[in-house]
Structure 1
């Protein structure tokens, strides 16, 4: 049984129980209230009649005035306050009994004692007799029964209308509640089949609406991940195809005799092979980093000395491009890190500066401690990076150059690897515009154990 049918039966059962309970309570309460009202009214009327009879008994000294003229009781009953009440042939006064002080019947029809209500008659504060009347259960006539039947029919009609309304409301409620669930089911089925383009766009503000909004966000993330994966495979194929095409062309030229087999030709092949190896290694490192499988050997190391060593190793390349390198490094900066991975990070950053910065440019490296973290900043001079490219510098295979020139722009994996290394150390890395005209890379690492 589906959830819609279950909800329908639950709502219908609940409404029916409530309607039955309300209808039964109304009918029983009405009947009881009516009987109580009639009893109280008759008792009040009989008490007034008893007062009249007590006055007349005090004047005559006996009950002969009633025994000799029984119709007088009817007139007195009407004078007691029920002159407008008509009940056909069976008037209420015919059910009255007059008893003496010993509760012996003087006039009126006999009635069982258990159904009688006795009202004492006092004359000059002395008991003169009793006036009794039966309760409503004993004197109920056809008119009362017809009135109760009409009320019962009204209750039954109300109950039937309530059942119809319960069916309608239960069906509408079940449909209203199940509709978003069915939409969520269809949407998740589409996601399961690989269609991430659909959106629910639910206007609801309840829990189902929030769930639909979260599914839309999941669809968006999956769609972006699918697009990124497709772009990733396309970019990898492109990056691998270029050095392989060069190698194939060089080898075909050598084998066909177009190019002589010289040392320069072998060096050219070696250069392309080295480029291809570097690319494959970067892809491997990035895949390990994304999967959390890139190993780190964390030891206490001086980041300031490590930075000096890396900068010294690039001194020859800096001199070739006539770079001005400014160092603002403390005497020591001990922290827990993997020196091999941090050196790899610094190598990638410095290689980017060498590739992109114009000859005769400037590079500024500073290291500072703020609170419990160390901040390493590398700034280079022009050219800079467009504003739209700054958030994407750490994406896989992203390069500012649209031409994707390998010899100028590299493979676009260095900064992505840097980001994974920084995150693995519990730090962060970000790119901004440099006041020198180029790019400012800020690396933040915790100063205590991670």
Structure 2
């Protein structure tokens, strides 16, 4: 059985939290016990200083350590009173005259576990005389104890040492340590429980966003390009949702363009085919004679089909990157002049003036002369097709250190500004009936854009100062 991502996230949150909680508990426990041992050691060092003071005073009274040799009772008494501070000297060497007070009737003392004797302060303290002979020694080897000298009247009379404690044996200190451990355990369990409760809705919320994206992706693959997801959130999932919506919009636009492209191509092909069929059927039925005029009409429609299919073929090659470009050093002005002269007779027949500025000089360029000639030819044909008779076309060139800008500005009629950005779309017409009447299929400018972009340039349509269309082309010198 596969585990869902929601449960995986939930277990990951719990595992990470458990690891952090256990690590914090162990680190805190270790740090607390070490700090408590340091505190106990500090307190014992202070007690050791008080014991040293008592031993100095006792030594000054007896002028030797003979009073303490073998006197275990006196040694225990000194150790006992060293626990307290500010005890008058008169009471420091007084021994109890009687035993402990009798317990009240019926009193039963509570039994306590006795701490290990070798860990008590009394067993860990050692006293040596001036010759480092033991007076009262602990079980710990002498070479492992750090001794401090006892000086009287600038003379070392002995050495007092204490073995550091290994663990806590005092009842109060152990109870305090146990309370702290219980508090840490309770806090750790509380944090783990809180994370367990919060992780489930958090993982469910995160997985819900992923589930919505998965469902939307399935819908997208099924062709539902209008599907969208919620873009709320500034995290990675929010960015992923925004990217998904952008992809969905792009696919929706591409699908709409594809459908429009198929419809437009079908329409463009159907018109000349319908004319050809009508003419041929009229000849077959004897409605029209097979005259030279009829053959010329059929030939014109066939040529129109050939141009349309040729434009479609070149455009498709350009889209897939199969349209070859042979770039070399060339003179862009010479290519432009040669292409313009090839169409000058057509301009004269239609009565459209053709003027050139800045083309007389050389324009060195790195590009494909054949494709650039095709670019200029398409722009000239576009002017011939749509500019009113008696109008004019001005072609100018401006050269900078890095670019060459070519301007094709013709006279009326103009193009609405709302249509300017779409002029380079395939099969787009500003006015379908007028364009069809002039024989345009809306592919020439689309092919012009592909040729310009293949030379790393830009092409833009603007309103012409002459009242028509202004095509601005900017080409980098290195092509």
Q: TM-score, normalised by structure 2?
A: 0.73
Change (3 A) 1:82 1:111: farther
Q: Which residue of 1 aligns with 2:445?
A: 415
1:80 to 67, 76, 85: 85
Q: Which residue of 2 aligns with 1:249?
A: 278
Q: Is this contact kept in 1: 2:396–2:407, CA < 8 A?
A: yes
1:274 to 256, 279, 303: 303
Q: Is this contact kept in 1: 2:127–2:159, CA < 8 A?
A: yes
Change (3 A) 1:250 1:32: same
**Any stretches of 5+ residues in structure 2 without a counterpart?**
89-108
Q: Which residue of 1 aligns with 2:99?
A: none
Question: Are positions 1:285 and 2:290 aligned together?
Answer: no
Change (3 A) 1:145 1:251: same
Change (3 A) 1:81 1:293: same
Q: Secondary structure at the match of 1:80?
A: coil
1:17 to 16, 19, 29: 19
Q: Is this contact kept in 2: 1:49–1:80, CA < 8 A?
A: no
Change (3 A) 1:81 1:156: farther
Q: Superposed, which structure 2 residues align to 1:154-173 within 5 Å?
A: 154-168=183-197, 171=200
Q: 1:210-246 CA distances to partner (integer Å, 9 max, x unpaired)? A: 4443343333322222221111111111111222222
Q: 1:348-378 CA distances to partner (integer Å, 9 max, x unpaired)? A: 2222212221221122223444335444322
Which stretch of structure 1 is more off in the superposition, 439-448 or 360-369? 439-448
Which stretch of structure 1 is more off in the superposition, 178-187 or 396-405? 178-187
Cα RMSD between the aligned structures?
A: 4.4
Q: Which residue of 1 aligns with 2:356?
A: 327
Q: Superposed, which structure 2 residues align to 1:41-440 within 5 Å?
A: 41-45=43-47, 47-48=49-50, 50-52=52-54, 54-55=56-57, 58-59=60-61, 76=81, 80=85, 103=134, 112=139, 140=169, 145-168=174-197, 171=200, 181-200=210-229, 202-298=231-327, 302-328=331-357, 329-330=359-360, 332-333=362-363, 335-371=365-401, 373-403=403-433, 405-408=435-438, 410-440=440-470
Q: Is this contact kept in 1: 2:409–2:471, CA < 8 A?
A: yes
Q: Is this contact kept in 1: 2:126–2:162, CA < 8 A?
A: no
CA distance in 2, matches of 1:45, 1:283: 104
Change (3 A) 1:311 1:431: same
Q: Is this contact kept in 2: 1:240–1:276, CA < 8 A?
A: yes
Question: Are positions 1:38 and 2:43 aligned together?
Answer: no
Count of matched residue positions in the alignment of Structure 1 and Structure 2 = 440
